[in-house]
Amino acid sequence: MRLRDGRVLAYTEWGDAHGQPVFYFHGSPLSRLWIPDEAATRAAGVRLIAADRPGYGCSDLHPGRRLQDWPVDVAELGNALGVDRFAVVGYSAGGPYALACAALLGDRVTRAGLVSTTARFVVRERPWAIAELDEEERRAFELVERGGDREAAASTFAAELADWARVVAQDPQRFFDPLPVNDQNRWFRENPARMAPVLQAIAEALRQGAVGPGWERVVSFEPFPVPLESIAVDVLLWHGRLDLIAPCAPAEFVASRIPACTFTIWPDEGHLGLARRWDEILGALS
């Protein structure tokens, strides 16, 4: 669809076309072409709507964007699809975008879910959190924290990611090469039928190169647009205790600040737990 400002927003729909609408926000680098479990989505009777964020897949870049701009896009998409009220769920890097919708779209959002979410936006509120960042993340945070020219920061990040984005777009398996196969993800990583759609979604995510991910890195380290204590929507957080990609502690902190929040820890899951527990997530959201 074409948004009011002229940008194109790409999306897919899954599940029951007449079911309860749920907007799903992908991780990074993923796109609208992958959802955690297509069969479970149909069984839940959910109309799942997955949109590419700006600069990913077929959605136009939105230079200068901030986290609070995403709910505006989602509201426009909802209007175009005739969807007045809906739940939202974000996975990994998509988690903050689901939370922004919960915070800024009022009673249009019935419930919000965050799964294995990254929560870099609370680094400033957790003085010990800087030590939890790896060297690359710490340098990125410091660049954003200095403020000033956001466009220059996004360009710096995009330049640093350019070779990686080109290689991974051509061979998406390269994204997984540095990530260990372990007891928590073996069931997924060693299953070609599960991996094939993910690899396709990664290639699609990076079709425009690294400019979209560059802006996303800037946005990820900026403060949340409103106090977490002001969020009135019911928020559900799920996180694997054994997640090596998105540590559990920042998510726990976020949950402690949201008044109507239920935090569920999966003791034996890692970052891919949502693919095994998608029916649980959709059941709670709908």
Nearby residues of 214 by Cβ (< 8 Å), 6 or more positions away: 55, 154, 155, 156, 157, 158, 159, 161
* SS3 label, residue 40: helix
**Residue 92 tokens, joined:** 């990994």
**Can you give the length of the chain in residues?**
286
* pLDDT at residue 260 in the model: 96
Taking the C-alpha atoms of residue 143 and residue 285, their distance in angstroms, rounded to an integer, is 37
The structural domain count of the chain equals 1
190 domain-assigned:
yes
Predicted TM-score (pTM) of this structure: 0.97
Structural domain contains residue 4: no
* pLDDT for the residue 133: 86
Q: Is 50 helix (H, G, I), strand (E, B) or coil?
A: strand
Residue 237: predicted pLDDT = 98
Is 2 inside a domain boundary?
Answer: no
CATH code (residue 194): 3.40.50.1820
**Residue 114: which of 267, 268, 228, 285 has the closest Cα?**
285
Cα 149 from Cα 146, distance rounded (Å): 9
What whole-number distance in Å separates Cα of residue 35 and Cα of residue 286? 17
Check residue 269 and give its pLDDT. 96
40 in a structural domain? yes
Rounded distance, CA 91 to CA 262, Å?
A: 16
pLDDT (0 to 100) of residue 65: 97
Please name the residues in contact with 147: beta carbons below 8 A apart, sequence gap of 6 or more.
none
Tens-digit pLDDT profile for residues 153-184: 999 999 999 999 999 999 999 999 999 999 99
CA angle 172, 173, 176 (to 5 degrees): 110
> Can you read off the two tokens belonging to residue 145?
């924290």
Please report the pLDDT score of residue 179 as a whole number: 94
Q: pLDDT, tens digit, for every residue of 1-44?
A: 999 999 999 999 999 999 999 999 999 999 999 999 999 999 99
Low-confidence residues of the chain: pLDDT under 70: none
- DSSP labels for 185-233? THHHHT-HHHHHHHHHHHHHHTTTTTHHHHHHHHHHTSPPSS-GGG--S
Determine, yes or no, domain membership for 5.
no
β-strand pairing of 86-91 with 235-240: unpaired
Distance CA 104, CA 97 (A): 11
6 within a domain of the structure (yes/no)? no
Name the nearest CA neighbour of 25 among 83, 79, 60, 67.
67
209, part of any domain = yes
What's the domain range around 21? 11-285
Name the phi and psi angles at 37, rounded to 5. Answer: -160, 105
| pLDDT computed for residue 146 by the predictor | 84
- The encoded tokens of residue 185 equal 């993800």
Look at residue 122 and tell me if it is in a domain. Answer: yes
